[in-house]
A and B are shown apart, each in its own frame.
Chain A
Amino acid sequence: MSTTTAPVDNGVNSDALLGARDALREAPAGAQFTWRATSEWVRGTHSRQTIEHFRGLGDEQKHKKAFVLEGDHPEVFASEDHAPTPVETVLAALAGCLTAGVAAVAQNRGIQLRSVKATVEGDHDILGILGGDPEVRNGFNDVRVVFDIDADASDEDIAALVAQSQKRSAVFDALTNPTNVTVSVA
């Protein structure tokens, strides 16, 4: 156990987050966010997604700059492998979301983190997307995340951190629950 009296600093502004929670309860319209990405085909299975604008707090918002992601398929799919497969980006998003949650919860609970590593695996039967077996779904059959966390906390407290981060994770929710998705042509 740590005996230091230095304040816990995981680089998370807990006070701001708790303040936002309380403020948005009073003004719930501001809590309605819309996230956006635009995408453009490059060639073959290669595409490029740009993320810059979003809506929230009752107004249009903007990242500090435009962020660019790319998607492609690997050579075993007879593609050129310019970028990760989109399903891998989904796994990366899950890890990013849960890790942010671990940091935020640790800050709120006064736990100093030293390192937080995660490994994510998703099992996928590709006969589904290939149309090779009508009984196989297109998406993941199973997703596993393993965290390796070094922190000033007991094993039980670390388990509770990881459990709480799942409870408050948008990507975990998006993967584990059905979501209505509409795709149309402009």
Chain B
Amino acid sequence: MVLQTTVVIVGAGHSGLAMSRRLAERGIDHVVLERGEVANSWRTERWDSLRLLTPNWQSGLPAFGYAGDDPDGYMSSHQVADHLASYSRAIDAPVRTGVTVTSVAARDGGSAAGGYRVTTDDEIWDTDVVVLANGGSGIANLPPVADGVPSGVLSIAAKDYRSPDALPDGHVLVVGASASGVQLADELSRAGRDVTIAAGEHVRMPRRYRGRDVFWWMDAAGVLDERFDEIDDIVRARHVPSPQLVGSPDRTVDIAALRARGVRVAGRVGRIHDGVAQFSGGLANTVRLADLKLHRLLDRFDEWAARTGAEGLADPERPADTQVDAAPVLQLDLARERVGAIVWATGYRPDYSWLDVPVLDYKGRLPHTGGVVDKAPGLYVLGTTLLRRRRSSYIAGAAQDTADLAEHLSGYLAGRPAGDSERAQQDAEAIA
């Protein structure tokens, strides 16, 4: 039997649940399909020590602010999962758990005007609109050089890593200096491992500046509100790694801090061949770029503070420029250096393998305008990096993003040709 609804939301994470709430507010009939439990990836695809980069007070969702007693703390992944499960219950979201989507296709064999058919391992849905809220981190992005890892060395993506004890003995090479990469290098080093981190382009940030959390600053100074259509090169901006932060009030995990801990810092991995990893000789420039960018960000904070007369701030104290070895390591003989594992913290991409609507570009990316998939009317995406604004990369972005897209979505339903769908008419009346 084919089931009918107006909107299918794929994924019951923060974005999918927030969108469900927005649609409920508008009286739009919908269902949320979730392959596991609510917040599945937070329960099953995060390492043990992971905490959010953002403080708790920024973890509010539509009609569900943070109500705990530690607004300046950082949730663990299990706390995030519990937070989202509570949200799902509070808004009574129509979530169907344990349902895996296997195909989303245009219903009449091409034109999206006819709506979509969503096929799952359990049931089939016909719907006018599909919201892809399955998350930005479905698939670990391993670079082609990962193919060169010799047998005998564990090659593992950050999303499959759990704890230092779970890695084989020996030296660990961490590839990537995003939040994930530096956190894992820090954790492994603290666990007594010899660690080398290969650092390509990265974003250095202090956890606190002038006595405030860096996310307080980015919120206050409007950085998180920068819109996708105000950013010079949005394709590039969406590929910038996450900032070198950890969800802890007093822990710094930038390159300088890792070096001080004894972590060896190398340039970007260029090749792994014949048991030898080779690194870029451009490390000095990579850290220089990150320092310059850091100062531009802190300048912006200071300018905002001066302009608004913000009170209660400590004196500006800038981090020192990052030093690297005069001759950084250019190659690592994996056997000689007893490297037991290579951990790839080289980013993620959404999994659209089941999307049978021809909208992906030549790199398998989904082009969209702030979440609206222009090539397929009625198809939306949520919860990916810098979707509509910088805040979109974090849980706090869901409230505004879903408000904006619910507005667009209901306009789309209302604007469809008369008689095309009775439900669309009803929805339009419900909105009016």
Interface residues of A, Cβ cutoff 8 Å to B: 25, 28, 142-143, 156, 159-160, 163-164, 166-167, 172-173, 175-178
| Docked-complex contact A163 and B268, CB < 8 angstroms | no
A178 near B271 (CB under 8 angstroms)?
yes
CB nearest neighbor in B for A108: B232
8 A Cβ contacts from B266-293 to A = 267-268, 270-271, 273, 278, 280-282, 285, 288-289, 292
B430 at the interface (CB under 8 A from A): no
Are A163 and B270 in contact, CB atoms less than 8 angstroms apart? no
B362 touches A167 (CB 8 A): no
| Contact assessment for B285 and A167 in the assembled complex, using a CB-CB cutoff below 8 Å | yes
Interface residues of B in 110-125 (CB under 8 A from A): none
| B166 partner residues in chain A, CB cutoff 8 A | none
Contact of A176 among B271, B280, B327 (CB under 8 A): B280
* A18 closest partner in B (C-beta): B233
Complex CA–CA separation, A27 to B292 (angstroms) = 33
What's the nearest-Cβ distance from chain A to residue B60, in Å? 36
Check B235 against A25 for contact (C-beta < 8 Å). yes
Give chain B's interface residue range (CB within 8 Å of chain A): 10 to 19
Partner of A164, one of B235, B267, B289: B289
- CB nearest neighbor in A for B282: A176
Please report whether the interface of chain B is mostly helix, strand, loop or mixed according to DSSP.
mixed
Nearest CB in chain A to that of B327: its residue: A142
B280 with A163: CB separation less than 8 A: no
Q: With contacts A28-B362, A172-B282 known, is A178 near B292, CB below 8 A?
A: no
Asked whether any CB of chain A lies closer than 8 Å to the CB of B162, the reply is no
In the bound complex, what is the Cα–Cα distance between A163 and B287 (angstroms)? 10
Q: Evaluate contact between B292 and A177: CB separation under 8 angstroms.
A: no
Which chain A residues lie closer than 8 Å to B285 at the CB level? 163, 166-167, 172
From known contacts A177-B270, A178-B270, infer whether A163 and B289 are also in contact, taking CB-CB under 8 Å: yes
Q: How far is the CB of B410 from chain A (nearest CB, A)?
A: 31
Q: B295 at interface (Cβ–Cβ under 8 A)? A: yes
Evaluate whether A159 and B362 lie within 8 angstroms (CB atoms) in the complex, with A176-B280, A177-B268 already known.
Answer: no
Tell me the bound Cα distance from A128 to B278 in angstroms.
20
* B268 nearest CB neighbor, chain A only: A177
Instruction: Write out the residue numbers on chain B whose beta carbons fall within 8 Å of the beta carbon of A172.
Output: 282, 285
Contact of B292 among A28, A163, A175, A176 (CB under 8 A): A163
Give the chain B neighbours of A166 by CB distance below 8 A.
Answer: 282, 285
Query: Which of chain A's residues has its CB closest to B287's CB?
Result: A163
Beta-carbon contact of A159 and B288 below 8 Å: yes
Which residues of chain B are within 8 angstroms of A177 by Cβ–Cβ distance? 268, 270-271, 278, 280-282
Q: List 27 A-B contacts (CB under 8 A).
A: A25-B235, A143-B281, A156-B295, A159-B288, A159-B292, A160-B292, A163-B285, A163-B288, A163-B289, A163-B292, A166-B282, A167-B201, A167-B289, A172-B282, A172-B285, A176-B267, A176-B270, A176-B280, A176-B281, A176-B282, A177-B268, A177-B270, A177-B278, A177-B281, A177-B282, A178-B270, A178-B278
Query: Are A156 and B292 CB-contacts (below 8 A) given A142-B327, A176-B267, A177-B270?
Result: yes
